[in-house]
Amino acid sequence: MSNTTKSLIKSTMILGAAGVIVKIIGALFRIVLTNLITFKGMSYYQQAFPVYSALLIISTVGLPIAISRLVSERVTMNDYRGAYAVFRTARSFLLIVGLATSVLMFAFAGQIAALQQLPDASYSLMALAPALFFVSVMCAYRGYFQGLQNMKPTAFSQIIEQLVKVGMGLALAYLFLKWTGRLEFGAMGALLGITISEITALLYVMGVFGKEKRNMPAEVLTAYKSRLSWTEVKPLLKKILVIALPVTVAGLVMPIITFVDSVIIPRSLFNLGYDQDTVRSMYGALTGGVLTLINLAAIVSQALQMSVVPAISEALKLGDGQRVKANVLHGIKFAFLEGIPVTVAFFVFAYPLLHFLYPSATQDEMSLSVGLLMTMCSVAVFLPFMQTMTGILQGIGKQNLPPVSLAVGAGTKVALSLFLMTFPQINIYGAVIGTVVCYIIAACMNYYFVRKYTGVRMKFGEHLLKPVAATAVMTAAAYLVYSLIAPYSNAVGVIACAIVGVIVYLFMLVLVKAITARELEQIRGGKKLARFLKKIHVWK
């Protein structure tokens, strides 16, 4: 394996690990915040995010990739002045983009909230608007460091963001709620915490950048300090935009759909005759409660998606077709090994789990959340599978295909949601059904493309039958444990059945040979376990 490949894999692992940590912290933050400001308060919080996410895509998706690529090309040729010119040009452009998007979101907060039919959500939009500026500027620094193959500043800044968000967000939400007694101000406090977290993360990457500049050789530092003319900046900016725009457009698909959801769900519910309090509860239960769990379930697959890209890319460069196919099969296997037990757990233990995580929810909110989670639980299979197929397609150089799959799925989701939510007996479940169909379509299309360009087909027994068998035994064992403990304590019952379920599931995977000794040895601590299992003749 070359040093470049090792560096790439190491970089991917650093960002992957940081991504997992960030997602876990973020999910825990939302769970605690929901109990603090209730599902109604979360409706205000969640109304701001679709707008924020859509505007944020402009500066955080395509542009950092373009910066890192152009910086990397120039550093490879020892053109340090050129690398810094890319950074300075991009930083100036992102400063303008960040300022423009922040001002737009702040200035039109009232109109956007009125469009979403929750006017008091304007406070949340205004509190989050300044974060767009700080994140945009920070992306220039992150792209620059990534171009130097230094992923640590990006990874650490992401973790700092989350830790400050948790501390400041919860503290401000509590204080604002206590001072005003109004849920919309509690949500506003939490979102102000996010803005403060982005400022903190930006100061961190600027500090790392300043430190690196002080350690540069004199000749490099001289090149960095030289002025740039417009004739130099113009072609650089053009190159950055040519690389960034297609990725940015592709990345806008889901944020735009999420924003459309934030408009059509409240409007459809109001049209069905629900009052504002009920609409807030229903929307908060879906976006603040159920979706948090669904997204948490996809954390492992996101790390898998990131790790499968360099593995397949390396095999392609070496012309090793068998290794490419082996990596594709491993990706498919682990997507189902993760998704199937989570889906069943969400369906069978929906009430105990939600009651454990959201004790502040009312009985009506809890009943709705349980129904929504049971309806949506299959996304826990299709979302990881879709993400893994996306990673494989990126690895084989077909990165333009996953956005097409997602766009088709998203378009179907909007049409289906609008139609189903006209029926009073379906109401908000129409949006959930639309989301499930979206990920089924995207996952199936991605799999079709993977099969077409790699020739790899799923193995029914290996990929589906074995994890289903292991999940069945796991569910029975977990349910037995929960039923024995739950009469005394739901919380202890949920924790105990989760621990027993994981242990039984892993044991069953080994027993039915869903995981091989070689695969187990790739996991930290897996070598010792593999040796033990060989000693007791589970494996030869």
What per-residue confidence (pLDDT) applies to 2? Answer: 45
**Tokens for 361?**
């929810």
461-493 b/e (C-beta count within 10 Å ≥ 16 → b): eebeebbebbbebbbebbbebbeebbeeebeeb
H helix runs in 486-525, sequence order: 490-511, 517-521
- Non-local (6+) Cβ contacts of 523 within 8 A are none
What per-residue confidence (pLDDT) applies to 22? Answer: 78
Q: Are 281 and 32 in contact (CB under 8 A)?
A: no
**Sign of the C-alpha dihedral, residues 242, 243, 246, 247?**
negative
Q: Which of 192, 236, 232 is nearest to 93 (CA)?
A: 236
Average pLDDT of the residues in 247-269: 80
pLDDT 10s digits, 438-448 = 999 999 999 99
Q: What are phi and psi of 227, to 5 degrees?
A: -80, 155
Residue 467 has pLDDT above 80, yes or no: yes
Q: Which of 269, 308, 305 is nearest to 287 (CA)?
A: 269
Residue 5 has pLDDT above 60, yes or no: no
Residue 317 has pLDDT above 80, yes or no: no
Average pLDDT of the residues in 59-84: 76
pLDDT 10s digits, 77-127 = 777 777 788 888 888 889 999 999 999 999 999 999 888 888 888 999 999
| Range with top average pLDDT, 248-257, 319-328, 514-523 | 319-328
Q: Which of 425, 124, 390 is nearest to 273 (CA)?
A: 425
**H or E stretch covering 389:** helix 379-395
Instruction: Provide the percentage of residues in the chain whose pLDDT is more than 90.
Output: 38
Average pLDDT of the residues in 160-171: 93
Residue 266 has pLDDT above 70, yes or no: yes
pLDDT 10s digits, 175-208 = 999 999 899 999 999 999 999 999 999 999 999 9
Q: How many C-beta atoms lie closer than 10 Å to residue 61's C-beta? A: 19
- pTM equals 0.79
Residue 481 has pLDDT above 60, yes or no: yes
Residue 60 has pLDDT above 50, yes or no: yes
Average pLDDT of the residues in 332-339: 85
Higher per-residue confidence, 151 vs 290: 290
Residue 353 has pLDDT above 70, yes or no: yes
Residue 11 has pLDDT above 60, yes or no: no
User: Residue 50 and residue 125: Cα distance in Å, rounded?
Assistant: 10
SS (H, E, C) 48-74: HHHHHHHHHHHHHCHHHHHHHHHHHHH
Q: What is the residue type of 451?
A: R
The helix, strand and coil proportions of the chain, stated in percent and rounded to the nearest 5, come to: 85, 0, 15
The C-alpha angle with vertex 75 and arms to 72 and 77, in degrees rounded to 5, equals 115
- Non-local (6+) Cβ contacts of 205 within 8 A are 138, 141, 142, 145, 153, 154, 157
**Tokens for 261?**
């959801």
What per-residue confidence (pLDDT) applies to 470? Answer: 93
Residue 338 has pLDDT above 90, yes or no: no
Higher per-residue confidence, 464 vs 440: 440
Q: Are 389 and 463 in contact (CB under 8 A)?
A: no
Measured between alpha carbons, how far apart are the two ends of the chain, in Å? 29
Least confident of 38-42, 60-64, 349-353: 60-64
Q: How confident is the model at residue 228 (pLDDT cuts 50, 70, 90)?
A: low
